[in-house]
Structure 1
Amino acid sequence: MNYEPTQIFFIVFSGIILMLLMSGFIIVMVLLHRQQQLRNRQKMESLKAEYEKTMLKVEKEIQDQTLSFIGQELHDNLGQILSLTKLTLNSPDEESYSEGKRLINHAIKEVRSLSKRLNLDWVKEVKLQDFISGELQKIEKSGYCKTQFETDEITITLDQDKKLVLIRIIQESLNNIMKHAEPSMIVISLRQEKGTLSVTVKDNGKGFDVADKSKGMGLHNLKSRIETIGGELMLSSIIGIGTEIKLLLPFE
């Protein structure tokens, strides 16, 4: 088959146009892909920065709370033990000497216990169940209200950062209850369900309107924190009935 020169020119020209279009399409796709990669990288860097910021803030809050606790313990507990030791050792008899020695050993034990709380190693060592149980016992011993802890056998082990954030969220939830709710009962449940760790903090206090933005900043802070470690916060509250905060943390 013989082609006329105009036909050959048209075929060649069409081929060039097609190649240019395909090249342009490929270039556009490459540019779009690179832009998407850049956006993904920026998003990952933003998430990483937010995570690090959250961890620093949580660590500082817990350290500040620990220092406040230690100051109170030094004044109320250790100071009392040492004062009693001084009074006991003022008596010359052997029985007082033995009691003074026992009190000094007790004071040394208290100092060692307090020194451990000056860093965050205790977070790594403490079980989440034991921490929650201890916090509820403090509330009940204070006479503020009754408490209840419900838990199943938990087989997972959280890394220190996730446990630290969870501990701080639980503490803040309990603080909010004691500041605002006026309940007669606080219940915390800890469950392990289908690849998810579930922590529910519930009270039978005053409740509040969840749509009221003036009361939402603290809850927004809690939600933001749980999200930085891949979790989710769900809230429900009924005025006159109480409030429930549920924390869900997926794990492998």
Structure 2
Amino acid sequence: METSSNEIIIAFLFGSLMLALVGAFMFVMVIFYQKRKIKSIEDRQRLIAQYEQAVLKAKVEIREETLKYVGQELHDNVGQLLSLIKLYLSRPDTKQKTDVKQLIDQAITDIRSLSHDLNINRVEQYSLSDFIAQELNKVHKTGIVKTAFDNEGHCEPVNVQSRVMISRIFQECINNIIKHAEAKHIFVKLAAEKGSCILSIADDGIGFETNTVQNGSGLVNMHDRMKLIGGDIQVVSSLGNGTNITLRIPQG
């Protein structure tokens, strides 16, 4: 009887110990799960904050780029037209009235175009393809480099914020070509492919060794912005062979 009682006590104690261990294990697992959940929420909130900050920064940069362009156009084109009109009017001649009228019409047209460009929210109001076409038209007007745009069907980022990011990256690519590539042509293609938008920006400029500038702030910034919207960017270039930048964009 005594042996049987001892076995019962041992079994009871062992069972109690196992229950305690299971309880402790469950408690630790709950704590661990809660910590992981909190960390996941914090990581998600941090990514959202980074995304919103990147979108805001891109908007500011687009605004600055637009104002810079408008200021230059006012100085170089509209200002020149008004100076010519003033010159003609200072020496009245009936034969010059037609010339003055044409200059005034051109000035009005240019100012209307600039007023359209000053709409800072146009990147949010127009499709990605429309924005690209407008930006390439600006470049074409300068006469510095020829442009070609191949737009294959409807292709649009998942939301307006992503479009802002892509639009700014596109502007950066074009500005870099104009400033550094010494290119004669820019070739842009926008096409849908396997649920994504593929935006390709190529030039026939001097190119560069990608391994020497891979960590440059401009490329790093582009990579970071593409990562935030769930896309990626590939840069292919070599000395003497131009540059091809391809963006793979999640499509809405």
- TM-score, normalization: structure 1? 0.83
Per-residue CA shift, 1:86-140, capped at 9, x if unaligned?
6677799999999988977876665555445444321123232233233334334
Q: Does 1:11 align with 2:4?
A: no
Query: What does 1:12-91 align with in structure 2 at a 5 Å threshold?
Result: 12-83=12-83
What amino acid does structure 2 have at the position aligned with 1:152? E
What amino acid does structure 2 have at the position aligned with 1:42? E
TM-aligned CA distance change 1:137 to 1:71, over 3 Å: closer
Map of 2:181 onto structure 1 = 181
Q: Which runs of 5+ in 1 are unaligned?
A: none
Query: What does 1:78-117 align with in structure 2 at a 5 Å threshold?
Result: 78-83=78-83, 111=111, 113-117=113-117
Equivalent position SS for 1:207: coil
Q: 1:6 offset after TM fit, Å? A: 0.6
Map of 2:236 onto structure 1 = 236
How far apart, in 2, do the equivalents of 1:89 and 1:204 lie? Answer: 45
Identical columns (%): 37
TM-aligned CA distance change 1:119 to 1:32, over 3 Å: farther
1:63–1:119 CA contact under 8 A, matched in 2:
no
How far apart, in 2, do the equivalents of 1:115 and 1:178 lie? Answer: 24
1:208–1:238 CA contact under 8 A, matched in 2:
yes
TM-aligned CA distance change 1:245 to 1:17, over 3 Å: same
How far apart, in 2, do the equivalents of 1:86 and 1:145 lie? Answer: 32
Q: 1:220 offset after TM fit, Å? A: 0.7
TM-aligned CA distance change 1:55 to 1:145, over 3 Å: same
Equivalent position SS for 1:230: coil
Equivalent position SS for 2:154: coil
TM-aligned CA distance change 1:234 to 1:74, over 3 Å: same
Aligned residues: 252
Map of 2:246 onto structure 1 = 246
Map of 2:226 onto structure 1 = 226
TM-aligned CA distance change 1:39 to 1:223, over 3 Å: same
What amino acid does structure 1 have at the position aligned with 2:145? C
What amino acid does structure 2 have at the position aligned with 1:203? D
**Which moved further from structure 2: 170-179 or 208-217?**
208-217
Q: Which runs of 5+ in 2 are unaligned?
A: none
Q: Which runs of 4+ in 1 moved over 6 A?
A: 87-106
How far apart, in 1, do the equivalents of 2:19 and 2:173 lie? Answer: 64
Q: Does 1:208 align with 2:205?
A: no
